[in-house]
Amino acid sequence: MTKVSMTVNGKTVSGDVEGRTLLSGFLRENLNLTGTHVGCDTAQCGACVVHVNGEAVKSCNMLALEADGADVGTIEGQANQDGSLNVIQQAFQDHHGLQCGFCTPGMVMSAAALLKENPRPTEVEVRKYLEGNLCRCTGYHNIVKAIMAASGQDVSSIAAE
């Protein structure tokens, strides 16, 4: 067991982990931050996406030890200070961008990273960026629409929601 410390959603946390403990496991099991989901074992689905030092990262594809000292953001830290949904979260609700909700934390975290680097992405850019995020429920229509809406674009001409 090795001690690991990091900042998660602005709080300093630490815990004892094995060398093989994944960041996703550390967040879920040690910190009980179960909003980060695990949907695969081949780093393909994106349900586990978190931010590490501002970058979108698949937390199932990173060892907890590798995140030692890092600044980590998870879905639990995304809402506004007053607890209301942030712009992206609100757009997902407004445009029905989620059904079962299992892919949703990863989608929201990926969307945030996308909008940071590309504040007004086109449909094609959104779809390309989400390549690493699988959703089995929505057929992606409302996810793409929600992300475009969150970027301030008028999505009313996109087929019904």
Q: Let me know if 77 is exposed, middle or buried by CB neighbors in 10 A (0-12, 13-18, 19+).
A: middle
Contacts to another protein from residues 48-67, by CB under 8 A: none
What does the per-residue mask of binding to another protein show for 81-120, with x meaning CB under 8 A?
Answer: ----x---x--xxx-x-xxxxxxxx--x------------
Place of tokens 């931010």: 51
Q: Is 103 in the site for ligand FES (CB under 6 A)?
A: yes
CB atoms within 10 A of CB 38: 17
Task: Give first-to-last CA distance, the chain, whole Å.
Answer: 49
Number of residues that bind another protein (CB under 8 A): 60
Q: Per rule CB under 6 A, is residue 98 in the interface with ligand FES? A: yes
Q: Which residues lie near ligand FES (CB under 6 A)?
A: 38-40, 43-48, 58, 60, 98-104, 135-138
